Structure 1
Amino acid sequence: MTGEIIFDPLLPWAVLWALVAAAVAFTGFALWRGLGGWWLRGLAAAAILAAIANPSLQTEDRAPLSDIVVLVVDESASQRLSDRPDQVARAIARVESEVAALDNTELRIVRLGDGQGNEGTLLMTALAEALAEVPRARLAGAILLTDGQLHDLDRAPALPAPLHALLTGQQDDWDRRLVVKNAPAFAILGEEFTLTLRIEDQGAVPAEMGETTRVTLAIDGGAPQTYTVPLNRDLELPVILEHAGRNVIQFSVAGEAGELTDRNNAAVVQINGVRDRLRVLLVSGEPHPGERTWRNLLKSDSSVDLVHFTILRPPDKHDGVPVTELSLIAFPTRELFLDKIDEFDLIIFDRYKRRGILPMIYLDNVRDYVEKGGAVLIAAGPDFASADSIYRSPLAEILPAEPTARVIEEGYRPTVTDLGQRHPVTEGLKAEHDGDWGRWFRLIDVQATRGQVVMTGTGDRPLLVLDRVGEGRVALLASDHAWLWNRGFEGGGPQLELLRRLAHWMMKEPELEEEALSAEAEGQTMTITRRSLAQDGRSVRITRPDGQTDTLTLEETVPGRFQATYDGPEIGLYRLADDDMETVIALGPAAPREFEETIASGARLDPAVSATRGGILPLHAGLPDLRTVREGRLAAGRGWIGITPRGAYLTADVTITPLAPAWAFLLLAAALSLGAWLREGRR
């Protein structure tokens, strides 16, 4: 119960103050005149002014409210290192017992884990959300139980009470981490580029740790390469990508005994490999309508460097025109097929036959070029079935089909085989071109000896045969009538898409591999795709960052393509394997933000804590006591932290009682005025 005097004047305050001024003036005038009752006159005026002010006694029935202390407990991943969970448990128990010993004080505990995705520790966000539910008048203090590694300091709220931080960790903690400081998003195949790495030690590093360590590099889960590198210095590492598309490069450093964690000893970067220029050599044995189709296709791609030769005047042609009067360019056979053959990504023989222009040794060199990783496409015409066929050369060892010497001249519609429905070169071609395809009118009869027949012609004879030879690829198109689709004959067909896919498959573009395992990530969900020509069910083995494995069954969505989705339980590098196919994918960074800095430190919290005169105390030095301090005083010291009692209350009832009735003030004023008159009259 409390009480206080309040005023509710009968006249406006401005009028009341004017009357006070008049009363003081008249009383002063009476004193100046020497009137003996001047003080009685002043008291009478005061009684009248008191009656106008209408004083009352206000009494309140108050219910005291408890003070609130907020304890924010950091339970992020870095708080699960070493003995920090035990430290947190002991600290919570100590704070609970200390708060329970205080009068009229309650404790509210807020726990937070890792932020969504890779946001890190959102400690100040959790504190702000907790304070939003606490009346500011009741907040006696806030305590952060953390390692000090937070990632949202800019969201720190303004507090009317002390803020303290209790730091986990030990004085001798140390950790080693690997950081990729510079990595390009794209790189040109076959060209060297530089990655900038840094391996640094943090904390109380043991004296026996040397100045160098070994770092391991692996591309797409392949054979690792090991390098000896210095510590705590930027390192420029040269790398060369070997295939187009996404390249996942993993760096790792072996863990050392005594370091806090090895989760930050690895880093992953994803770099897209792109070809600078695709060099294609097109050799046309003679002019024909389909020649321009090949040329237009290859010239339409700005990334293709095309070298095209058409043999207009073979050695066996005798037309009587002197050589000196010809404007033809001599075919640089030695330069192309001996000196610079390895510079080409694809060689196309378009209706080419043996005429003595390319000696057998040159064609033998082409065979070696394929076995070492090159690509050869044979666009066959009647020449392929003749005695001068290019098949009757060293190329026969790498060609997937043998001619029967028969040329079929009748109309037919090219058909994709069952195997072709699963092969990326020919899958979905029907969808690319609605309606029936136009007919072709020539087919070179061949017998497939190996490889994959993905398209057939009349009588189910092979039309398009694909094969892998050594490290290279070979394709045989047993017709020279693809140009009919380009002209729109009988509605045409997907000529451009077919030839584009065929050329890119031969140049080993990743999206056209018939046997491939890939994954795309969106957040913590990955979509796994397995391409395969086999028709049996597929499953993939997933190795998590912590070493545990899961087996996921894939479902066939379209012929030759199996897919499934997988939700990764944690951030890091996942390895996928099916038979001899392997790939890796990173969900978030291999070393999450939570593990970038693991050594406990109060440096980041110091500005927010100092602003409230709080303290930062390490738990390894002992559990602190909890004291009460007055507002504005230093709220922390050696072995103790303080909170400010707020004295908040809830008003249950208010009673207002006038000090005296108005007639009593008037009676008092009259009595004082009469006393003043009598005193002055006797004098």
Structure 2
Amino acid sequence: MRQALAGVDFAPVIPPWLLAGLAALALLALAPALLRVVRDAAGARRLAPARGALFRLLAFAALLLALANPRLVEETRETRPDIALLVVDRSDSAALGPRAAQVEAAREALEARARRLPELELRTVEAPEAGNQGTRLWTAMERALADIPRARLAGVIALSDGQVHDLPAAPALDAPFHLLLPGQPGEVDRRIRVVEAPGFGIVGRPVELRVVVEDLGVAPSQGGAARLSIRRDGAPPRVESVPVGREHRITLNIERGGPTVVELTAETRPGEVSDLNNRAVVAINGVRDRLRVLLVSGEPHAGERTWRRLLKADPNVDLVHFTILRPPEKDDLTPLHELALIAFPVRELFQVKLRDFDLIVFDRFANRGLLPPVYLRNIADYVRGGGALLLSVGPEFLGPTSLAATPLGQVIPARPPSGPGAAQAALLEGAFRPRVTETGGRHPVTENLPGANPAGAPGEATWGRWYRALRAEPRSGSVVMEGPGGAPLMLLDRVGEGRVALMLSDHIWLWSRGHDGGGPQGELLRRIAHWTMKEPELEEEDLTARIDHGQMTVLRRSLEAGPPPEIAITAPDGSVTRHRPEARGGRATVEMAATQPGVWSAADGRRTAYAAAEARNPMEVADLRATEAVLRPLAEATGGAVRWMGAGAAPALPELRRVAAGRDGQGAGWIGLRRNADHTVTGITALPLLPPWLALPLVLGLVLLAWRREGR
């Protein structure tokens, strides 16, 4: 809008200080004529200016005015419209229930009203959901204000629930700030807060969680008790009554390794804003404490120390190792105290404390009467009950002293061949490179071993050669490595609740010596030992799920060939989606967004896995009530208003008015936006009021009149 304004301006032809000096000299020159004292007829004294003093005064005034150079100035101005900022909160808490619709309706209404106000531009900016950083309303507002000249800022209107987490300690804003809140004051909200939860727990030992159920917006005396539902890994829930507002302790037993997902749900309080924060999810990773391993070495051989070195290198392993230096049937008259520091505690190890061990390893152990059949039967029962057994055998496995011919043979996954000359034929001697079988390429124990042959494809491994293996007849389990002629070399089997691993060669020690380039003996033996002890990451038939940064990953491991089945994923709200996993080897994966907080489950028809998804913005859901407490100080400091829009479908909005700078920015039923009257000067026209051609004759004329008057 263009405006034309006129006024009188001065542009002195000499410096202002010199002009002021000339005016002072003129007054001194005029003082005797203006202040002349005369006597009247009665003899009284009075002031009587001299003849011509008035014309002399006018002459000096005309001269000074000519030097001041008065001008008639006319300005053409382009007025610029003021800018108001509308900040819309799009965080999760501002979208609860009817809030989102109410905020959107208020935005549309305010934009329509602002368009009817002259010389006002309304800019709308949204404060989006900020992940785990809470509501970043002030950040969004500052970013928008950076593009608005402060001389044109009429005010800021915020549509928000008031839960703002980035407000500085001393916010600087030189325009009215108005807050419009959805709903009405006095809202209540129940939440469950986890005070302390361990990230890890020892398998077989209890852990303790500390939680508090709180009612926000309710007097402490009205707390009472609430029902708390505790569900672990999708099992039926356990319900406890907990006092509201006081800490409650929950004890849980860690029954297995890997993640245990615990979901805590507090019953909904009547009238609360939302039950979104009535649920908390805790994931506790079960770990084993100091794995106890019993290693029994039979007759001495070159690779005897391979297993000992491997197990002693693991700081989490407590190793008990016994070596049979002399078979019972041989007597070379060597004193016993020179063969062993202590007597072999057969009964103590294999009857009294057998189940205290997590793993039993027999390294080239032959049954020469040292272990009675009852103890070997105890070991077999120990395996069926969930124990772990690992056997590394040599030629002794083919003879009459083989462990396969004892009660322990019932849990060994292979038997030596029987018949005349079978033992001789089953001893395979000659250079060969161990190969990973097609099944082994899918098994976590042997997949992706450095130097291995391509699983299920022709080609040799690049690791070192071995020179002895045994031919045995597999009875159960999985053959993951093969020796010369495709003979089974390593078998892994599940027996009851336990695990058994059988290595049909005693030459793995060659890899540890670096022979022929060596091999991954450390990694392979570690995987075998930990698979037998049921480490979750080495399960060959398993389904796991995890959620990181809002992304859910489901991993299915299986030895079965063919396309994997569909994975059914159930969200916390009960909705089910089906996904075809992407298969690669023995692994199949599904990835999808997991935005809902709570417990997610994935099922493949046989197994079910659970994963915990925390609220993506914990600060946002900590308190779901709409509140004016955070932003009211800013509104009061800038002369703005705080208004509630009510609980109805149509928001109750105040009128928009323009107010002058310095006036109050609010009133009954209205909020004000400042009128700044900012403008840009587009043109200036100046007309001298006393040009030189007029000033000179005027001054000379007044001087002449003064001379003639005084000359009379």
**Structure 1 length normalisation: TM-score?**
0.89
Distance (Å, rounded) in 1 between the aligned partners of 2:132 and 2:102: 25
Of residues 292-301 and 53-62 in structure 1, the stretch that sits farther from structure 2 once superposed is 53-62
CA 1:428 to 1:56, structure 2 compared with 1: closer, same or farther past 3 Å?
same
Partner of 1:150: 164
Q: Is the 8 A contact 1:266 1:591 kept in 2?
A: no
SS of equivalent residue, structure 1 residue 418: coil
CA 1:327 to 1:587, structure 2 compared with 1: closer, same or farther past 3 Å?
closer
Q: Does 1:532 align with 2:558?
A: yes
Q: Which of 11, 19, 22 is equivalent to 1:8? A: 11
What stretches of structure 2 of length at least 5 have no aligned partner?
A: 37-49, 454-459
Partner of 2:125: 110
Partner of 1:262: 275
Of residues 571-580 and 297-306 in structure 1, the stretch that sits farther from structure 2 once superposed is 571-580
Q: Does 1:69 align with 2:100?
A: no
Q: Does 1:383 align with 2:413?
A: no
Deviations for 1:284-343, whole angstroms, at most 9, x for unmatched residues?
122111111111111222222211110123433322244466653212223322333333
Partner of 2:487: 461
Structure 1 residue 90: deviation in Å? Answer: 5.0
Partner of 2:178: 164
Partner of 2:352: 339
Structure 1 residue 680: deviation in Å? Answer: 4.8
Q: Which of 329, 343, 348 is equivalent to 1:316? A: 329
Partner of 2:152: 138
Partner of 1:351: 364
SS of equivalent residue, structure 2 residue 523: helix
Give the partner amino acid of 2:656. L
Q: Does 1:645 align with 2:675?
A: yes
Q: Which of 341, 346, 359 is equivalent to 1:328? A: 341
Give the partner amino acid of 1:129. R
Distance (Å, rounded) in 1 between the aligned partners of 2:225 and 2:53: 98
Structure 1 residue 389: deviation in Å? Answer: 2.2
CA 1:102 to 1:314, structure 2 compared with 1: closer, same or farther past 3 Å?
same
Distance (Å, rounded) in 1 between the aligned partners of 2:214 and 2:273: 14
Distance (Å, rounded) in 1 between the aligned partners of 2:483 and 2:270: 67
Larger Cα Rg: Structure 1 or Structure 2? 2
Q: Is the 8 A contact 2:134 2:617 kept in 1?
A: no
Q: Is the 8 A contact 1:57 1:659 kept in 2?
A: yes
Structure 1 residue 668: deviation in Å? Answer: 3.2
Partner of 2:31: 31
Partner of 2:41: none
Q: Does 1:634 align with 2:688?
A: no
Give the partner amino acid of 1:540. I
Q: Which of 281, 304, 312 is equivalent to 1:299? A: 312
Of residues 434-443 and 193-202 in structure 1, the stretch that sits farther from structure 2 once superposed is 434-443
Structure 1 residue 86: deviation in Å? Answer: 4.6
Distance (Å, rounded) in 2 between the aligned partners of 1:311 and 1:153: 74
Partner of 1:550: 577
Q: Which of 388, 403, 415 is equivalent to 2:435? A: 415
Distance (Å, rounded) in 2 between the aligned partners of 1:572 and 1:660: 87
Distance (Å, rounded) in 2 between the aligned partners of 1:123 and 1:324: 81
Deviations for 1:415-469, whole angstroms, at most 9, x for unmatched residues?
2211111111111225469953433333233211111111122332222111112
CA 1:459 to 1:205, structure 2 compared with 1: closer, same or farther past 3 Å?
farther
Partner of 1:241: 254
Q: Which of 89, 103, 106 is equivalent to 1:91? A: 106
Q: Does 1:404 align with 2:417?
A: yes
CA 1:576 to 1:674, structure 2 compared with 1: closer, same or farther past 3 Å?
farther
Q: Is the 8 A contact 1:280 1:347 kept in 2?
A: yes
CA 1:255 to 1:640, structure 2 compared with 1: closer, same or farther past 3 Å?
same
SS of equivalent residue, structure 2 residue 344: coil
Of residues 371-380 and 432-441 in structure 1, the stretch that sits farther from structure 2 once superposed is 432-441
Distance (Å, rounded) in 1 between the aligned partners of 2:702 and 2:540: 116
Distance (Å, rounded) in 1 between the aligned partners of 2:390 and 2:339: 31
Give the partner amino acid of 1:7. F
CA 1:98 to 1:566, structure 2 compared with 1: closer, same or farther past 3 Å?
closer
- 1:473-622 correspondence runs (5 A): 473-519=499-545, 521-538=547-564, 539-557=566-584, 559-568=585-594, 573-586=599-612, 589=615, 592-620=618-646, 622=652
Give the partner amino acid of 1:203. G
Q: Is the 8 A contact 1:432 1:494 kept in 2?
A: no
Q: Is the 8 A contact 2:300 2:325 kept in 1?
A: yes
SS of equivalent residue, structure 2 residue 276: coil
Of residues 652-661 and 623-632 in structure 1, the stretch that sits farther from structure 2 once superposed is 623-632
Distance (Å, rounded) in 2 between the aligned partners of 1:655 and 1:572: 73
Of residues 249-258 and 339-348 in structure 1, the stretch that sits farther from structure 2 once superposed is 249-258
Deviations for 1:336-368, whole angstroms, at most 9, x for unmatched residues?
223333332211011112233333333233223
Q: Does 1:660 align with 2:690?
A: yes
Structure 1 residue 112: deviation in Å? Answer: 4.1
CA 1:302 to 1:680, structure 2 compared with 1: closer, same or farther past 3 Å?
farther
Deviations for 1:383-402, whole angstroms, at most 9, x for unmatched residues?
22222222233322322122
RMSD of aligned alpha carbons: 3.1
Distance (Å, rounded) in 2 between the aligned partners of 1:642 and 1:162: 8
What stretches of structure 1 of length at least 5 have no aligned partner?
A: none
Of residues 285-294 and 126-135 in structure 1, the stretch that sits farther from structure 2 once superposed is 126-135
Distance (Å, rounded) in 2 between the aligned partners of 1:42 and 1:323: 143
Partner of 1:429: 449
